[in-house]
Structure 1
């Protein structure tokens, strides 16, 4: 079998990224996945050319320092009979501490890429140095604002955007031992809104001690679905760990 032949099956995996590994960049996590899958001996499809690479397709990048319960990865395989359970079992003991697969599905033909499909993300943001009443008043102001102009730097140039259409939901959560939880749903189109930008809205400067992405969502036919529910081949969905 030609090692660079066209892939015959694509598996979508959901995984956690928690603990110290959150300080590993998105690019380095991609390298970890490539090395880990190589160690399993699974028949992962590879690119052609002088330096072939595993055919892995990642979703929205997670900022360095953030945790996540809902990261996604599509893996192309040469074997058209490989299943989610086989992939899950092969990765046990191979992934480093802090990375763990929590679910997966075999994708049907024509499934959209993660980069194109995800429309919003849920965030759990632990905020320092603010009281619950003050944070609640800030949430009310943000939700009631007609515009939320934020400036960020991209490729050496400053760009100003309106964040208001991207704030789909926002509420104060429970107090923690270090601060107060802020629960947000932020849109990803035309670009992904960042929790760090949200915390500077209305000239505020709240400090997050921990940020965790808890869900990613895809809007389809009026419904909001998670990426394992979209494009799955019939009877191929496998959930792990009660997710």
Structure 2
């Protein structure tokens, strides 16, 4: 069964592998999708009415966790509604999950230089902090399967990277990641790979496709 988090279709992976779609393969696609999302440090699937309390740093830019920003329902600062004309989030700002304050800066509710701002401990995550309600993320192939009225908006390179990951995961089933092998003609040797520990399930080409979607957050 499809999962909203699925970043590609099981049918696409099955076609690349030349196998039938099975519940096992569908579960593998979900696992591959979660691996890709974890590698990128983000949630890709579209969400409505998302509520977040992002950290402000006394700067004009505010970062939310599920880009792209599709619609900002509202922003509140210390319980006070911030008029829509006071900030913007479109184009590249929306793609990056940023709200730019046109007038002044966002309240300081985050960490600065590794130190906690004096009032952070008491207000972060509360109505006294910054609260953003918005719609964000991409419509995934999994969400499309679950709701045919939706159109997939997830970029093709993220979908392809997930297919590549799922294919590699399928083909590596039952293979000990600690064992590597080499063959020259009729001669072959197997040995323990020194750097197998921590090996990413995301193949190199898929990592290249995902490079522009990786989010690095600083707490």
TM-score normalised according to structure 1 size? 0.26
Larger Rg, first or second structure (1 or 2): 2
TM-score normalised according to structure 2 size? 0.28
